[in-house]
Amino acid sequence: MSAAALADLIRAHQPCVVLTGAGVSTESGIPDFRSATGIWADVDPFEVASIQAFRRDPERVWSFYRERIHLLRDAQPNAAHGALAELEQRGLVAAVVTQNIDTLHSRAGSREVVEVHGSIRSARCLGCLWSEPADAVLAQLESKPTPDCPHCGDVLKPGVVLFGELLPAAELERATHLARAARLVLVVGSSLEVWPVAGLPLEAQAFAIVNRGPTALDEQAVLKLDAGAGETLSAVLDAL
């Protein structure tokens, strides 16, 4: 099975919707979560990235996310992000649904991006639902441990979906609609372990997977490439 076979599949099965996970951003120097060198190998997500932790100790959660936001903003889109933007421009990808919060798809030029786990673009007030842009949040964090809502004074929450939180309803609905309308969902860089997003490929007529290592849905995929995202998608572009 090769990138050429994947290119044929994409050409023959339109519309194609792409679902991406952490594996698409590792080549940008962003560690993934669950591998041996991943973020959760060193820190307990329930201590720093859960809604319970945020309610109990927002300073701890923000000290984790402040570093993370800086790291993600310094990262640059890689070949995989670029190839997906190019595929959209050529009319071969209808949308990218991503579990990533790093905004690298948008920065690479993808226009139809559904961020089902939120993003670092802003922080959110749980009291009045105000959304504060990341620049203003980081400016506040220069002088205090947690950012406040400029409207009601509550502590702002990172604009990413924390453990224990529901996914944003509008984004999840849009992602489900896109998957159901797709003749092909192409999964890139996700081991499909986090629900409900991991169930999206099952909504499509067929799905293919590009991921290093096994995923929960390998058996049901029409094609599985155990390979890196950047090299594979670049080869797919060349083959189209």
Judged by the rule CB under 5 A, the positions of this chain that interact with Zn ion are 125, 127-128, 130, 149, 151-152, 154
DSSP state string for 184-215: EEEEES----STTGGGGGGGSS-EEEE-SS--
Cβ 125 to Zn ion shortest distance, Å: 3
- Is beta strand 207-210 parallel, antiparallel or unpaired with respect to 223-225? parallel
Cβ 169 to Zn ion shortest distance, Å: 20
Cβ 128 to Zn ion shortest distance, Å: 3
Strands of the 113-115 sheet, one edge to the other: 113-115, 95-98, 16-20, 184-188, 207-210, 223-225
Closer residue to Zn ion in complex, CB, 105/157? 157
- Is beta strand 118-125 parallel, antiparallel or unpaired with respect to 131-133? antiparallel
Closer residue to Zn ion in complex, CB, 29/150? 150
Write down the catalytic residue from 70, 105, 117, 151. 117
- 117 an active-site residue? yes
Cα-only R_g, the chain: 18
Cβ 238 to Zn ion shortest distance, Å: 49
Closer residue to Zn ion in complex, CB, 140/211? 140
Closer residue to Zn ion in complex, CB, 79/149? 149
Closer residue to Zn ion in complex, CB, 28/146? 146
Name the one residue in this structure whose structure tokens are 């690298």: 104
Q: Is the CB of residue 191 less than 8 Å from the CB of residue 216? A: yes
Cα separation, 130 vs 126, in Å, equals 8
End-to-end, the C-alpha distance of the chain in Å comes to: 16
- Is beta strand 113-115 parallel, antiparallel or unpaired with respect to 95-98? parallel
Cβ 207 to Zn ion shortest distance, Å: 40
The pair of three-digit structure tokens given for residue 50, joined into one six-digit string: 């859960």
What amino acid positions are annotated as catalytic residues? 117
